[in-house]
Chains A and B, each alone.
Chain A
Amino acid sequence: MQALLLFLILFPAAVAFLLLATPKGRARQTVVSVSAAVIAAASIILAALVLSRGAPVYFAVGGHAADLLIFAAEVALGVIVTVISIRRKQYLAMALMLAGLIMTVVYEVWLANTVHAESNLFADNLSVVMTLIIGVIGSLIAFFALGYMEEYHHHHEDVPDRSNFFFFIVFAFLGAMNGLIFANNLVWLFFFWEVTTFCSFFLIGYGRDALAVRNSFLALKLNLCGGLAFSAALFFLTLNAHAISLSELHDLPGGAVLLPVALLAFAGLTKSAQMPFSSWLLGAMVAPTPVSALLHSSTMVKAGVYLVIRLSPVFAYVDGGKTVGLFVALVGAVTFLLTSCMAISQNDAKRVLAYSTIANLGLIIVCAGIGNHKLAWAAVMLVIFHAIAKSLLFLSVGTAEHLIGSRQIESMDGLAGYLPRVAAGMVVGIAGMFLAPFGMLISKWATLEGLVDANPILTIFVAFGSAVTLMFWVKWLGKILIVKSAPENVETRVPRTQSLTLAVLSVMTAGVCVLFPLISKYVLEPFIFETYRQIYWQDMNNIATLLIMMATVVVLTVPLVFPGKQERHFRPQYLAGANLAEKEKFHGAMGQDIQISLKSLYLQGIFGESRLFPLGVLSTLILIIIMLGVVV
């Protein structure tokens, strides 16, 4: 099992270097497809092995040499990023990077030999969930990128083709993510943490235009702040508690562990793009769509929430942890509410998706911050459902963008008519994101039920946030499902890698909805019991009701997809009696012929970014300052 674990970290890294030298075309296609399949298979095998063990497995792998190697790699990467920052005249980024480097070196020289982790790597059911998300969804996105990146360079001839570098980073990213979730030694975890920061920095800056460069440095700076907090946490943990393992955090006395844990939570908040740090994830959408899909679903932001979920037993059990956890949860709650509101005011599909990601991560943070067994269940379920549905949505939007030349929701009128499969992917994704009885709603429901017991005040945020969530999804869904007269199907131009990925992800989105009781029973419940010594038990009646509802929706889609021949009288829509013979046109008041065009509400005056974003930044900053103040 240990070999497989190391394989999952090192193999993607090796493939990354191979791809740097692989020419595009057939050769790259083969390498990417085969290694994506290998990574997916390896993560599934590892999952099966860990699940059959039924208990966390610890590995004492590594040693002094490995520690030194990691230290050297960290310094080398830090130097590279510093040099790039100087070349781009980004002195703040340079300063942050240098500060991080100095802290790393000081730690290595001064403290590294004073503590030792019993085991550097480990795997439990939560790691299994994460590695499946990384290995399966991440690999699928890499596969999708094969066709997409070729098209991307057709559409963006001004962008230099550095797709070798692109695939290098994508696979390095997957390896680093696997390292991050298997690391038990926090120094190792920190190394992988920083690598994911650098990977996202390079991916966001892929286009190399002014905006891409600016946004990539924004992401770098904010995540380096998180990195500094992480680094500081290592110092305090070593000095105060003489501990360095993730697994022993919740056994330590409150006085020693609260400050490092608050700093780690801070790092988690930056990486998961919670307010006030959300702007980096919004800026990240300048990158090609597979990058967004990767950042939002299987890597990066999921690393942030992963860490906070790992900290949740500390919030729940360590003396004084509840207060820190409450403030973490409040940051998540404010983020959930405000970003859901702001999503209403957006027309750019990718921006809506970005806001929805931040909102859902906020909900996960709420769950993890309170950290009882019910909410931990909800948090992990949210991670699973969100990863699949969000990658599907991003990739569908990316595919549609290349075909219709726009990613504005306003230009998606009647998409179901002329891009039926891509639209189906979007509809499945959207339904999975907010609608009963699917995916996210199952976990949102568990969240509400868990919060009422733990802290009813937080349900107020969820109640309002869920209501506004409805609006931005439904108006998008409605746009896609408009029926226009005789549209031309343009779907034949979708590359095979893309349509295949979309189909697989759609099936997976539906699959996890149907199979969630099994996922809960065999994957989550053992983890919850292991961590919290409490059984989370789902009411069978409710599961049965959910399944009946799912079946009903499936039955209803049959006549949508396969219309029977019924006797009906078709009439054009009512246009105040001024319809023209030509469909969807009417005789205007000034005597001209007018085509119907319908625009959605965006409620800028109420939910506009300019109103709500500063409010969110201010309130979450205050919350974070109080959180850190409480432990200092």
Chain B
Amino acid sequence: MDVTATTVIGILIYLAAAPVVGGLLTGADRIVSARMQGRYGPPLLQPFYDVLKLWQKENIVVNRQQKVYILGFFVFVIITGCIMFGGGDLLLAVFALTLASVFLIVAAYSTFSPYAHIGAEREMIQMVSYEPMVILTVVGMYMATGSFSAADIARHDGMLFLHLPFIFLGFLFILTIKFRKSPFDISMSHHAHQEIVRGLTTEFSGRDLALIEIAHWYENVFLLGLIYLFFAPVPVVAVAVTLAAYFLEVFIDNNNARLKWQHALGSSWAVTLVLGVSNVVLLAFR
């Protein structure tokens, strides 16, 4: 099959399957979390019911611009995934994801709401925290395979994990921030017990909130796709590790309270410096 066809098929599968997979994972997350807390938990399809419900809600906004910014967030999260699943340049995918986050932050800023403002600033700090590790992850993948293209990396013969064990661990660490899990869910949390008002998304409701939730599913699948790439030559192992990573994050989520932003920034930079940098240096002097 030629490259264009695989690209198109990859993108189409991502567009169609990612929200389903992401939603189901979220449903499983809620069941597992409930069991860890001694509850029974909602049905597996509850996230879809929630989004459907949000979609039918009244259209309430603070200003007319916020919807456009949220749409920008949604579209660019999807473009990010399309770049990766279409076999494109991973650095470009990372930059597209950054653009998406900037849209979300600007949406929160635009509302001129104190709670959203605090959430937006914390979201920025989260970005500063995870971005170096994400870039070094992609850099490490290039150093191991000689290519930035997701297609080439996926087709690479050796298992990436063997070259990038520390980078893999570092990436797992910042994944907690990206998944918005405790202890690093500082800009907004899925858990009611973490905060009184919901940070970044305080002023968003109805369809906007539904879009943010669906974008979150797309984003999660993109991030899990990066995990998959570390073990790509053996698909069974790759899928197993990907799922294990997801449930590790759920486990961490349920065993931690939220930390201050100083800790999020300090610990992620420390982890990046120790694990990310040492792995890059090892590869450089190989």
Q: B-contacting residues of A (Cβ < 8 Å)?
A: 413-414, 435-437, 441, 445, 448-449, 452, 455-457, 459-460, 462-464, 466-468, 470-471, 474-475, 477-479, 481-484, 539, 541-542, 545-546, 548-549, 552-553, 556, 559-560, 563, 566-576, 584, 596, 598, 600-601, 606
Is B113 in the interface zone, CB < 8 Å from A? Answer: yes
Structural contact, A484 and B99, CB atoms closer than 8 A: no
Contact-size category for B? 35 or more
- B243 at the A interface (CB under 8 A): no
* Contacting pair A474 B203 (CB below 8 A): no
Instruction: Determine if A482 and B110 form an interchain contact, defined as CB atoms under 8 angstroms apart.
Output: yes
B169 at the interface (CB under 8 A from A): no
Contacts of B114 in A (CB 8 A): 573, 575, 596, 598
What residues on B are CB-neighbors of A539 within 8 Å? Answer: 89
Known: A452-B142, A475-B121, A549-B99. 10 other contacts (CB 8 A): A413-B112, A467-B132, A470-B128, A482-B109, A483-B63, A484-B112, A549-B76, A560-B68, A569-B60, A574-B203
Evaluate contact between A459 and B280: CB separation under 8 angstroms: yes
Bound-complex Cα distance A325 to B61 (A): 55
B75 within 8 A of A: yes
Q: Which chain B positions have C-beta within 8 A of A475? A: 121, 124
Does residue B202 face the partner (Cβ distance < 8 Å to A)?
yes
Interface residues of B in 40-74 (CB under 8 A from A): 58-66, 68, 71-72
- From A414, A456, A462, A474, contact of B283 by CB (8 A): A456
Q: What is the CB-to-nearest-CB distance from A298 to chain B, in angstroms, rounded to a whole number?
A: 27
Chain A residues contacting B79 (CB-CB under 8 Å) are 548-549, 552
Q: How many A-B residue pairs have CB under 8 A?
A: 182
B62, A573: Cβ atoms closer than 8 Å: yes
Check: B221 CB closer than 8 A to any chain A CB. no
| B147 CB → nearest A CB, Å | 10
Instruction: Establish whether residues A573 and B95, one from each chain, have CB atoms under 8 Å apart when the complex forms.
Output: no
Which residues of A are found within 8 Å of B241, using beta-carbon distances? none
Given A467-B128, A483-B63, residue A596 in contact with residue B112 (CB < 8 A):
yes
The answer to whether B135 touches A466, judged by C-beta atoms less than 8 angstroms apart, is yes
Q: Which residue of B lies closest to A477 (CB)?
A: B106
Closest to A555 in B: B75
In the assembled complex, the Cα of A576 lies from the Cα of B60 at a distance in Å of 17
Residues of A within 8 A of B116 (CB): 573
User: Known interface pairs A563-B64, A571-B60, A573-B112. Does A474 touch B105 (Cβ–Cβ under 8 Å)?
Assistant: yes
Residues of chain A contacted by B105 (CB below 8 angstroms): 474, 478
User: Across chains A and B, which 8 residue pairs bring their CB atoms closest together, nearest first?
Assistant: A478-B109, A573-B113, A436-B95, A467-B131, A463-B135, A483-B63, A463-B132, A456-B284
Residues of B within 8 A of A566 (CB): 59, 64
Instruction: Kindly report which residue of chain B lies nearest to residue A473, judged by CB atoms.
Output: B102
Task: Supply 15 A–B pairs (Cβ within 8 Å), ascending by A.
Answer: A437-B96, A452-B142, A460-B132, A463-B139, A467-B132, A470-B98, A474-B102, A475-B124, A477-B109, A545-B83, A545-B92, A570-B60, A570-B61, A573-B62, A596-B114
Give the chain B neighbours of A545 by CB distance below 8 A.
Answer: 83, 88-89, 92
Alpha-carbon distance A482/B106, docked complex (angstroms): 8
In contact, A449 and B148 (Cβ under 8 angstroms): yes
Q: For residue B58, give the distance in angstroms from its CB to the closest CB of chain A.
A: 6
* Bound complex: CA A584 to CA B79 (Å): 36
